[in-house]
Structure 1
Amino acid sequence: MSKIDPIFAAVTASGTPFEIAEQDGLRFFAHAPSDLNQLIEKARGFGDRPCIVDFDEAGRERRLSFADIFAWRDRLAGHLDIRRGDRVAIAMRNRAEWIVAFLAVIRLGGVAVLLNSRGSAAEARAMVDEVTPALVLADSERAAALRDAGYQGRLLDLIAPLAAADVPFVDGMTADHDDPCAILFTSGTTGRVKGAVLSHRSLITGLLGTQLTGTMVLHNMARDHGLSVEALTAQMPPQASLLVSPLFHISGLGAGFLAPFLSGGKIVIMRRWNAEEAVALIARERVTQLATVPTMLWDMVNRARLTDADLSSVRNIGSGGQALPLNLLEEVRALCPHALMGVGYGMTETSGAIAQAVGADFLRARASAGRVLPLVDLRIEGADGAICGPHATGEIVVRSAMVMRGYWNRPDDTAKSFTPDGWLRTGDIGYQDEDGYIFIVDRAKDMVISGGENIYCAEVERVLSEMPQITECATFGIADDRLGEALVAVVQADGLDERAIIDWVAGRLAPYKAPAHVAFSRAPLPRNHAEKIDKIALRALWPQLVANY
């Protein structure tokens, strides 16, 4: 997708929906609205098209059209009593109510604060305390958990029926492109929650960038098949997307919800991952696309083998979070012969993917994390701050209209995340080749990606250190066939066993953050010249520590 590509030049030409402009060194879409709600409102025109397939509390199926969702959104907006710029937290599992809540908050000019629904009550309370929202919108389980954790602010349980009488609302204002739109949380290497503030422009640029990528793929397919884009589109099945990523993740919010919603596609919601249910839903709903992680793809492959499921409807599979093994790729292609595989690289702080590769682009460099997208500037910096050339390894830093404004109420953390000339430090170590492909070789951040979930070692170590019997502790990732990485812990402690430590963490953080295995060291943990625990040495010692336990 280089700028000299004739298809790219055609679809981004002056006067087209994807025309690109530049200001203050940042590229953006010239005809994009300044307010995300203006983009959302265009989806109202899809009317009676299927929008959401979901299940209510009693397990009854719900099928909602775009007209149903907008009517529900407008009704809910009349009850929120918020002002433009107010922060509104959303604390729910994946469900139709979550989507309607987000749309209502954006409709009223609020800032949607997305809470981790999988975390503990204490974690949810910490996030709420961080941003002091004017209102929390929750499901019954998380509403009760927040109250039990001592939260006394304004809270609406959206599982309860709305009052019969709607409260009218009038809001003719639109947001400026740089106004805050959403706050998504990332723990960072400090082990404390930080809210990344995404502006209307950053989210809109990310969403339109996804649409541009899809348009490019469509034009290339039409060229390869000797068809017009219109003829090819007419032959394609209705778009149906399986939403498996949590909506509080940028991948769930963007690729899982907003991108298909804005394209008029059906969204089939899963509240929690279950391979058997996923395979059944794909076959029944004729799902055409899903964005997932290798762990889930392995689960689907294994389940589909057992049930002889028909997954042939799938046309597009996007994967991120960890490398896609070659043997998994072959298994998926056998089950989904029409599917284009894709990979992406991004982070919460960049409003989603800043590099992607789909179809032939992906197959040319399967080990890569994708090619840098057109509206992103990316460079590799060495330890001395010098800019690296092709194939030279260093920290990946980026500049784009997609980049966050900063961390909510944390100016020091924000300053540390940017270079002096305003580029975002990703904390990832990698290199770029001559064709624009990015290869990730390590993470500067002390983080483990297990089953597609980011687990920050500092956060887990902080909780472990609160256990009175523990003298020292360290956590890190080891290779795992299914999860990609598994978080493990090494502790120096008296009177504890592995189960007690795992249960301690699972009771204070989200269960997926608990160590999969714990090893005990009789001696103090090794330290480097800076007197920090030497995790490289611990990884080397891990087999011995486990064997001795």
Structure 2
Amino acid sequence: MSKIDPIFAAVTAPGTPFEIGEQEGLRFFVNAPSDLNQLIESARRFGEQTCIVDRDGPEGERRLSYTEVFAWRDRLAAHLEIGRGDRVAICMRNRAEWMVAFLAVMKLGGVAVLLNSRGSAAELAAMVEEVTPALVLADADRAVLLRDGGYDGRLLDVTQPLEDRGDAAGDGLIAKPGDPCAILFTSGTTGRVKGAVLSHRSLITGLLGTQLTGSMVLHNMAREYGMPVETLAAQVPPQAILLVYPLFHISGLGSGFLAPLLSGGKIVIMRRWDAEEAVRVIEREEVTQLSTVPTMLWDMVNRARLEDADLSSIRNIGSGGQALPLNLLEEVRKLCPHSMLGTGYGMTETSGAIAQAVGADFLAARTSAGRVLPLVDLRIEREDGTVCGPNQTGEIIVRSAMIMSGYWNRPEDTAKTFTADGWLRTGDIGYQDEDGYIFIVDRAKDMVISGGENIYCAEVERVLSEMPQITECATFGVADDRLGEALVAVVQAKGLDERSIINWVGERLAPYKAPVRVAFSSEPLPRNQSEKIDKIALRALWPQLAANN
């Protein structure tokens, strides 16, 4: 997407909602509010339109209008008893209460700390200890886990009925753009939790950037069809998104929740992925938008074939993590003939996607991660800090108003992540071609993406090393037709079997972080010239090691 594109110039012209300015080298939306709550308040105008469909409530399905969601938010806010800048942890599975809790924290000027609800008691305790929240908002199951993990601070189970205390008005102050808004966790290369601090400006810029992309797509389609934008917009079906990603992920928080909320969309919550249920829900709720990973798309395609389901309501499918196989792409087109496919690239530290490709752009470079978005600067650097040219591989470095402020209470980690001139080191290795597409070729952070979930090898290896029988260990990803990548482990150990090792990890970390296979080596693991375990050599040896176990 070029800045000299006439449609881009018109959509971002002075006086428009997406007018772009520049300050201290960063581009930003001139007319954006400085406080996320101001943006959220604008959604009140959708009134009686359906906001949330939660199919797993205490009394079965719940359908909440925007009016009802805001009324619930106001009732909950009266119970929080927090001040501006107080950190409030949210620990729940995907459910209406999670969303209402986030909105209530924003109303009172708090900082929402998003805990991984799939974590073990020990993992939750580590996250809480990292940020010392004034309050934890949880559901019943997570409340038990938090107490089991040792948290003895203030905790409110928001799944219980609330006494009506009226409306907590807050202090009436408006946050500054750089004030903390939310903290999301990423394990990083050390295997220890780190809280990425996202400011109001970074989250708002990411959300408005998503709306700008949607506006550009609409204008381009109108030009292609030869009709006014207003005419085309009137023909677009009401937005309904199937929320699959966890809300504690930036993708779930941003594209799955806040972006559709601000657009008046209907958010249909899935507690957990189930292809049979997903197909039924898409058909019944006339879902128009789905953000998922290839694993889930395959599941959906296979189930839809069996049931002869009508998925023609879907207009937008976003898929990240790995390239869509050509045969899957063709099957999706058959089932969803009106759909526009897209991909994106981003991370927690960037408040969401910093590169995207949609429709024809996506099909032109299907294996890419998209083109850099308008408010993002990106460069590819060699190890010596020099900038790479087109098609030359190096680390991806970015700068934008979307970038995090830093890691909570981790100045050393923050300093390592930013360059001296304020650019963020993504830790991803890739290149940019002559047409501006970004291609990811490796992950310097040694992370495995399995079924759409990020698994940090260092974190799993730390837990494995706590088994007294293990002398040394290494984990890495291997190709898997269904998951994209599967985490496997190689250990040098005595008196253990594969199941005991898998169970050890699954009991101490979220179950999806446990290796799916474990191979045993009778010899010390291979090492490189730096005396580090050589995972390149181990990957080459994996078929032989796995066959011998």
Aligned to 1:173: 173
Maintained 8 Å contact 2:75/2:165: no
Maintained 8 Å contact 2:74/2:167: no
Query: The residue matched to 1:267 in structure 2 has which SS?
Result: strand
How far is 1:56 from its partner?
A: 4.3
How far is 1:479 from its partner?
A: 0.2
Aligned to 2:455: 455
Aligned to 1:189: 189
Aligned to 1:87: 87
Maintained 8 Å contact 2:88/2:137: yes
1:55 aligns with 2:58: no
1:32 aligns with 2:27: no
Aligned to 2:357: 357
Query: The residue matched to 1:504 in structure 2 has which SS?
Result: helix
- Specify whether residues 179 and 516 from structure 1 end up closer, same or farther in structure 2 by C-alpha distance, changes over 3 A only: same
Equivalent residues in 2 for 1:406-421 (5 A)? 406-421=406-421
- Specify whether residues 108 and 390 from structure 1 end up closer, same or farther in structure 2 by C-alpha distance, changes over 3 A only: same
Aligned to 1:533: 533
Maintained 8 Å contact 1:251/1:352: yes
How far is 1:169 from its partner?
A: 3.4
In structure 2, C-alpha distance between the alignment counterparts of 1:132 and 1:241, rounded to whole Å: 34
Equivalent residues in 2 for 1:92-171 (5 A)? 92-166=92-166, 168-171=168-171
Equivalent residues in 2 for 1:381-530 (5 A)? 381-530=381-530
In structure 1, C-alpha distance between the alignment counterparts of 2:326 and 2:285, rounded to whole Å: 28
How far is 1:57 from its partner?
A: 4.2
Maintained 8 Å contact 2:90/2:102: yes
- Specify whether residues 296 and 517 from structure 1 end up closer, same or farther in structure 2 by C-alpha distance, changes over 3 A only: same
Maintained 8 Å contact 2:239/2:289: yes
In structure 2, C-alpha distance between the alignment counterparts of 1:59 and 1:317, rounded to whole Å: 31
How far is 1:58 from its partner?
A: 3.6
Equivalent residues in 2 for 1:336-375 (5 A)? 336-375=336-375
Maintained 8 Å contact 1:79/1:166: no
How far is 1:171 from its partner?
A: 2.4
Maintained 8 Å contact 1:79/1:167: no
Maintained 8 Å contact 2:109/2:170: no
How far is 1:308 from its partner?
A: 1.0
How far is 1:67 from its partner?
A: 0.2
Query: The residue matched to 2:427 in structure 1 has which SS?
Result: strand
Aligned to 2:268: 268
1:308 aligns with 2:305: no
State the AA in 2 paired with 1:31.
N
Maintained 8 Å contact 1:343/1:362: yes
Could you give the per-residue CA deviations for residues 15-66 of structure 1, whole angstroms, max 9, x where no partner exists? Answer: 1000000000000000000000000000001000000000344461100000
TM-score relative to the length of structure 2: 0.99
**Number of aligned positions between the proteins:** 549
1:11 aligns with 2:3: no
Maintained 8 Å contact 2:34/2:200: yes
Query: The residue matched to 2:508 in structure 1 has which SS?
Result: coil
Maintained 8 Å contact 1:320/1:345: yes
Maintained 8 Å contact 1:450/1:487: yes
How far is 1:435 from its partner?
A: 1.9
How far is 1:264 from its partner?
A: 0.2
- Specify whether residues 13 and 261 from structure 1 end up closer, same or farther in structure 2 by C-alpha distance, changes over 3 A only: same
Aligned to 1:325: 325
In structure 2, C-alpha distance between the alignment counterparts of 1:226 and 1:180, rounded to whole Å: 44
- Stretch of structure 1 that moved more, 380-389 or 161-170: 161-170
How far is 1:306 from its partner?
A: 1.1
In structure 2, C-alpha distance between the alignment counterparts of 1:273 and 1:401, rounded to whole Å: 33
Maintained 8 Å contact 2:197/2:408: yes
Could you give the per-residue CA deviations for residues 493-521 of structure 1, whole angstroms, max 9, x where no partner exists? Answer: 11111111000000000000000100000
In structure 2, C-alpha distance between the alignment counterparts of 1:122 and 1:169, rounded to whole Å: 36
How far is 1:423 from its partner?
A: 0.5
TM-score relative to the length of structure 1: 0.99
Query: The residue matched to 1:404 in structure 2 has which SS?
Result: coil
In structure 2, C-alpha distance between the alignment counterparts of 1:435 and 1:258, rounded to whole Å: 31
Aligned to 1:243: 243
In structure 2, C-alpha distance between the alignment counterparts of 1:39 and 1:58, rounded to whole Å: 30
Aligned to 2:282: 282
In the alignment, structure 1 segments of 5+ residues that lack a partner are none
State the AA in 2 paired with 1:499.
R
In structure 1, C-alpha distance between the alignment counterparts of 2:422 and 2:434, rounded to whole Å: 24
How far is 1:468 from its partner?
A: 1.0
Maintained 8 Å contact 1:243/1:268: yes
How far is 1:268 from its partner?
A: 0.2
- Stretch of structure 1 that moved more, 197-206 or 267-276: 267-276
How far is 1:267 from its partner?
A: 0.3
In structure 2, C-alpha distance between the alignment counterparts of 1:480 and 1:389, rounded to whole Å: 33
How far is 1:165 from its partner?
A: 3.5
In structure 2, C-alpha distance between the alignment counterparts of 1:167 and 1:287, rounded to whole Å: 34
Maintained 8 Å contact 2:138/2:155: yes
Could you give the per-residue CA deviations for residues 307-341 of structure 1, whole angstroms, max 9, x where no partner exists? Answer: 11110000000111222222211111111000000
In structure 2, C-alpha distance between the alignment counterparts of 1:43 and 1:405, rounded to whole Å: 27
In structure 2, C-alpha distance between the alignment counterparts of 1:288 and 1:169, rounded to whole Å: 36
How far is 1:172 from its partner?
A: 0.9
In the alignment, structure 2 segments of 5+ residues that lack a partner are none
Aligned to 2:22: 22
Aligned to 2:65: 65
Query: The residue matched to 1:461 in structure 2 has which SS?
Result: helix
Maintained 8 Å contact 1:278/1:300: yes
How far is 1:166 from its partner?
A: 3.6
In structure 2, C-alpha distance between the alignment counterparts of 1:352 and 1:318, rounded to whole Å: 13
- Specify whether residues 167 and 289 from structure 1 end up closer, same or farther in structure 2 by C-alpha distance, changes over 3 A only: closer
Could you give the per-residue CA deviations for residues 60-89 of structure 1, whole angstroms, max 9, x where no partner exists? Answer: 110000000000001100110000000000
Equivalent residues in 2 for 1:41-52 (5 A)? 41-52=41-52
In structure 1, C-alpha distance between the alignment counterparts of 2:411 and 2:89, rounded to whole Å: 21
Maintained 8 Å contact 1:182/1:198: yes
How far is 1:164 from its partner?
A: 3.7
In structure 2, C-alpha distance between the alignment counterparts of 1:29 and 1:495, rounded to whole Å: 61
Maintained 8 Å contact 2:78/2:165: no
